[in-house]
Structure 1
């Protein structure tokens, strides 16, 4: 069972509950929320309401989504496997795949493909997210490490929580930077003007640190490597948008997309972890996807 809960702020009062919740949670569509309301899976201060209910300040909203094992099925799909043993599997994720099932994505996710590829995945995250220790946005490509058993899952989750995993990304950004390398230390929270976005803000935010260095410069664009020390939602996309250099193709955070990229050009390039069984540090690297390479070659020519 999955549960969502939040308290209504003064600025949000007066909205219809279904519209408000859909704006709060990117992974839940408005029609899906309406279905949950009809099924009495949404409460306000512990009471059942209908979809026309208008929220007021300090209302406590709760959504309950019951997961059914039958909802998840194995589906044969191409997987770009970088490494695999009895404990973990590491893939180079394509940019057109959601990591785990969610409303609107039931049988076209990385989890569906993994279930068809391996015999076992850890069960710690429930039936919808077996083996998933961390995630990448749908339109971000690159390295994703998955646990095949509960022991490996617990050990990897501990490393991610303690920030001992080294995560490096390649991002093609708009414009040119003033420095060859640098550190972005800017807290991130939900954008108060658009609840489906994140933003750099002082209040109601969490510490976020990204370190970058220039890999290659072009006339109007720059390829950077970014090491993230924290794992906030959309962190790299938000930080470079904040600097005035959005990731190419990321229209959500201000890209002009003059290169006509079909997605944000962000790629999880390198991942360094301790193997959950041997304890030895292992480093994985993933080649850029063809669409990313093509745009770089276009810029070089």
Structure 2
């Protein structure tokens, strides 16, 4: 895993910076102490205070058991846009983006790195340059770079907020306004360490915009746009205004409207191509299970 320290992350300890990506601060500390983490090419202690622009690389292979060579062989996904520089993936719900504890194989990044002519140009292939991520049970669009230069350019565009990430979210109840912005810092929850919330000791800037797309008796379909991209941001922010995402087992109520996961879908991705300068806009229709839940909401079901 490689990441560039964003300006709003500067000043954090190295182990705190990596806690979200690696699942816990203790795991981050173990990898740092094992020499699996470098900052600008040099090993640093866990107490190292990161600066904006530093490149942090994590090699967690030391804690992974031996696994089959083709780790992403069973993974399927759609590719609605692709050229020689990048591709846009339509991720199904249930697919983990990066390997992590409990999900060492069968991830999207591993599938993209397979020897597959449709997704790997040239004889040498490429390492999947995922620019952002989606939660396991969130479906929809992700952009992937095919070179370090394109990856860096897309990350910079994301930090400048020049990438449009639009989601469809069905929420419980109805917001009091047709449009709104939720501006509330997010971090790891003080009490439940597997969750993120606005009740945190390490708040990070987070803003989410929403607009009502369709209103029903007990639910509302929102169009949600991210200005920042914190872990679980949409789910946390909508819970914070008392309108949790329908079917969300972590931040709301599971099993609503026949849902087996949260009703959250990354439906539109738009950005300027970092090489050609062309305007790229890709859309993804709602998956069938979300369409069925929407029909139940329209029918007045709880």
Q: How does 1:1-301 map to 2 (within 5 A)?
A: 5-6=14-15, 27-28=22-23, 41=34, 66-67=60-61, 73=70, 74-116=72-114, 117=116, 118-120=119-121, 130-201=128-199, 204-255=202-253, 257-301=255-299
- For residues 66 and 256 of structure 1, the distance between their equivalents in structure 2, rounded to whole angstroms, comes to 33
- For residues 120 and 20 of structure 2, the distance between their equivalents in structure 1, rounded to whole angstroms, comes to 32
1:174–1:255 CA contact under 8 A, matched in 2: no
2:129–2:151 CA contact under 8 A, matched in 1: yes
1:97–1:138 CA contact under 8 A, matched in 2: yes
**Counterpart in the other structure of 1:52:** none
Cα distance, 1:75 vs. partner? 1.5
TM-score by length of 1: 0.75
- For residues 162 and 220 of structure 1, the distance between their equivalents in structure 2, rounded to whole angstroms, comes to 37
Deviates more, 1:104-113 or 1:214-223: 104-113
What are structure 1's unaligned runs of at least 5 residues? 8-20, 43-58
Cα distance, 1:151 vs. partner? 2.2
SS at match of 2:211: strand
- For residues 295 and 212 of structure 2, the distance between their equivalents in structure 1, rounded to whole angstroms, comes to 17
SS at match of 1:144: strand
- C-alpha distance 178-250 of structure 1, shift in aligned 2 (>3 A): same
- For residues 138 and 288 of structure 2, the distance between their equivalents in structure 1, rounded to whole angstroms, comes to 13
1:168–1:227 CA contact under 8 A, matched in 2: yes
Cα deviation code 1:124-173 (max 9, x no counterpart): xx96xx21111111111000111112221121111112221111111011
**Counterpart in the other structure of 2:51:** none
- For residues 195 and 164 of structure 1, the distance between their equivalents in structure 2, rounded to whole angstroms, comes to 32
2:207–2:228 CA contact under 8 A, matched in 1: yes
SS at match of 2:250: helix
2:162–2:271 CA contact under 8 A, matched in 1: yes
Cα distance, 1:28 vs. partner? 4.8
- C-alpha distance 260-26 of structure 1, shift in aligned 2 (>3 A): farther
TM-score by length of 2: 0.75
Report which of the two structures shows the higher radius of gyration computed on alpha carbons: 1
Count of paired positions: 262
Superposition RMSD on alpha carbons, in Å? 3.6
- For residues 136 and 173 of structure 1, the distance between their equivalents in structure 2, rounded to whole angstroms, comes to 18
Cα distance, 1:178 vs. partner? 1.2
Cα distance, 1:260 vs. partner? 3.5
Cα distance, 1:112 vs. partner? 2.5
- C-alpha distance 189-107 of structure 1, shift in aligned 2 (>3 A): closer
**Counterpart in the other structure of 1:45:** none
SS at match of 1:264: coil
- For residues 221 and 236 of structure 2, the distance between their equivalents in structure 1, rounded to whole angstroms, comes to 16
1:2–1:66 CA contact under 8 A, matched in 2: no
- For residues 226 and 83 of structure 1, the distance between their equivalents in structure 2, rounded to whole angstroms, comes to 22
Cα distance, 1:81 vs. partner? 1.2
- C-alpha distance 66-233 of structure 1, shift in aligned 2 (>3 A): closer
